[in-house]
Amino acid sequence: MLKIQNLHARVEGKDILRGLDLQIGPGEVHAIMGPNGSGKSTLGHVLAGRPGYEVTDGSVTYRGEDLLAMDTEERARSGVFLAFQYPVEIPGVSNMEFLKASVDAVRESRGDAALDAVTFMKRAREACKAADLPVDFLKRGVNEGFSGGEKKRNELIQMMLLEPSLCLLDETDSGLDIDALQVVAKGVNSLRDGKRSFVLVTHYQRLLNYIEPDHVHVLAGGRIVRSGDKSLALDLEERGYAWLEDEVA
């Protein structure tokens, strides 16, 4: 599904990713943990193709293709989805309008016919239900005045409707209350179908109680410094990151 080799990237002239390697197979769930500022969000943005994020070395192959050669929207259309750590607001543009336009664009690029309004509405309502947000939220401006947790759940709605192949969730669990955490976990688990892959960036082992990862990685200083199974997350919870950083040094 995804193969990252020796990835180096810089933002505003600052080197952030420094030789990152990661391989993700179809249907796998990978958790990425690591200290603040280590480059986790940067990785997500580099994969999603955020303008201004410059790749200085290395390669990323996505489903056999050179991901880095694709435009931002092409990546999205080919199934790369990033749930943002800090979702932005688009005042005046209704969630519904935004979702419909996105779904249409993605479907069109795949050669699928646009969904008729009734089918789309049905799916949008289901997604709201799964994310435990009232259907009214579809009429509100994109993230406009949403609470932190509501914004995160709104990301889940988008993910469900766009049916991506590779889901990157950047701290979707941060700022969620305990019930909402379960809602998000349930949403993610419902999307697991043996083919779709997930990268969960998180600071909390708790999320992994609900979504069982196949692999856990620690990102520090712009590289993966340790990989393991879910027991690694438990170790980290207990011991923090200092011992790893010491080991790496």
Partner 1 sequence: MSQEVIDSRIGKEYSAGFITDIESDTLPPGLDEDVIRFISQKKGEPEWLLEWRLEAYRGWCEMEAPEWAHVDFPPVDYNALSYYSSPKNMKDGPKSLDEVDPELLATYEKLGIPLHEQEMLAGVAVDAVFDSVSVATTFREKLAEAGVIFCPISEAVHEYPELVRKYLGSVVPRRDNFYAALNSAVFSDGSFVYIPKGVRCPMELSTYFRINEAKTGQFERTLIVADEGSHVSYLEGCTAPMRDENQLHAAVVELVALDDAKIKYSTVQNWYPGDAEGKGGIYNFVTKRGVAHRNSKISWTQVETGSAITWKYPSCVLRGDNSVGEFYSVALTNNRQQADTGTKMIHLGKNTKSTIISKGISAGKSSNAYRGLVRMSPRADGARNYTQCDSLLIGDRCAAHTFPYIESRNPGAVVEHEATTSKVSDDQLYLCQQRGLDAEKAVSMIVNGFCKEVFRELPMEFAVEAGKLLEVSLEGSVG
Ligand X SMILES: Nc1ncnc2c1ncn2[C@@H]1O[C@H](COP(=O)(O)OP(=O)(O)OP(=O)(O)O)[C@@H](O)[C@H]1O
Binding stretches for ligand X (CB under 6 A):
11-12, 14, 16, 34, 36-42, 85
Q: Toward partner 1, which CB reaches closer, 103 or 133?
A: 103
Least Å from the CB of residue 13 to ligand X: 8
Least Å from the CB of residue 35 to ligand X: 7
Near partner 1 in 145-204, by CB under 8 A: 158, 162
If binding is defined by CB under 8 A, does position 76 make contact with partner 1? yes
Binding mask 59-98 for Mg ion (x = CB under 5 A): --------------------------x-------------
Q: Which residue shows structure tokens 């999320």?
A: 207
DSSP states of 155-221 as a string?
A: HHHHHHHH--SEEEEESTTTT--HHHHHHHHHHHHHH--SS-EEEEE-S-HHHHHHS--SEEEEEET
Which listed option, Mg ion, ligand X, partner 1, none, makes contact with residue 51 (CB within 5 to 8 Å by class)? Answer: partner 1
Q: Toward ligand X, which CB reaches closer, 44 or 140?
A: 44
Query: How big is the chain, counted in residues?
Result: 249
* Residues 49, 21, 40, 201, Cα dihedral to 10°: 100
Least Å from the CB of residue 164 to partner 1: 10
Which listed option, partner 1, ligand X, Mg ion, none, makes contact with residue 72 (CB within 5 to 8 Å by class)? Answer: partner 1
Least Å from the CB of residue 85 to ligand X: 6
If binding is defined by CB under 8 A, does position 73 make contact with partner 1? yes
If binding is defined by CB under 5 A, does position 41 make contact with Mg ion? yes
Measured CA to CA, the distance from residue 170 to residue 200 in angstroms comes to 6
Residue 168 bridge partners (DSSP)? 82, 199
Among 101, 114, 135, 248, binds partner 1 (CB under 8 A): 101
Measured CA to CA, the distance from residue 150 to residue 84 in angstroms comes to 13
C-alpha dist (Å) from residue 88 to 8, 41, 46, 137? 27, 15, 18, 15
Which listed option, partner 1, ligand X, Mg ion, none, makes contact with residue 12 (CB within 5 to 8 Å by class)? Answer: ligand X
Measured CA to CA, the distance from residue 86 to residue 105 in angstroms comes to 23
Q: Toward partner 1, which CB reaches closer, 105 or 234?
A: 105
How many helices and strands in the chain, by DSSP H and E?
Answer: 9, 12
Measured CA to CA, the distance from residue 145 to residue 89 in angstroms comes to 8
Q: Answer for the pair 83, 159: CB distance below 8 angstroms, yes or no.
A: yes
Judged by DSSP in three states, 121 sits in helix
| Count of residues in contact with partner 1, rule CB under 8 A | 31
Q: Toward partner 1, which CB reaches closer, 155 or 173?
A: 155
Note the residues at the interface with partner 1 (CB under 8 A). Answer: 48-52, 71-73, 76-77, 81-82, 84, 87-88, 90-94, 97-98, 101-102, 105-106, 109, 141-142, 158, 162
